[in-house]
Amino acid sequence: DQQVKQNSPSLSVQEGRISILNCDYTNSMFDYFLWYKKYPAEGPTFLISISSIKDKNEDGRFTVFLNKSAKHLSLHIVPSQPGDSAVYFCAASRTNSGGSNYKLTFGKGTLLTVNP
């Protein structure tokens, strides 16, 4: 049962344009969402997160939008740069009954290629 889905395995955009990476989830108990970027032969690097009480969070060129009713979030990168080419993972977490954090549940990733 895949609770976090990234339905686009790959995305190709032109340098300077906007990249939009999408993620859907099924578990309404998720209350924190994160995006990670991963280069080959390296571990994932944290990019940005958003709490379920918000619908938008910005950090420089990166903005994450959350639509709770649709159980959908997206990561916007503006403007896209060739160095952004990597695999992007969406992840979600929930607070367990003890009040502490739970594991991260990851999507399968989207390979973003930014062409010069």
User: Residue numbers of the site for other proteins (CB under 8 A)?
Assistant: 32, 34, 36, 41-47, 49, 51, 89, 91, 93, 100-109
Q: How far apart are CA 92 and CA 39, in angstroms?
A: 20
Nearer to other proteins, 74 or 93 (CB): 93
Nearer to other proteins, 25 or 106 (CB): 106
Q: How far apart are CA 111 and CA 86, in angstroms?
A: 6
User: What is the closest distance, in whole angstroms, from the C-beta atom of residue 89 to other proteins in the complex?
Assistant: 6
User: What is the closest distance, in whole angstroms, from the C-beta atom of residue 17 to other proteins in the complex?
Assistant: 26
Side-chain-side CA neighbours of 48 within 13 Å: the count stands at 18
Nearer to other proteins, 42 or 69 (CB): 42
User: What is the closest distance, in whole angstroms, from the C-beta atom of residue 100 to other proteins in the complex?
Assistant: 6
User: What is the closest distance, in whole angstroms, from the C-beta atom of residue 79 to other proteins in the complex?
Assistant: 23
50 CB-near residues (< 8 Å, 6+ apart): 32, 33, 34, 56, 57, 64, 66, 73
Nearer to other proteins, 15 or 22 (CB): 22
Q: How far apart are CA 99 and CA 96, in angstroms?
A: 5
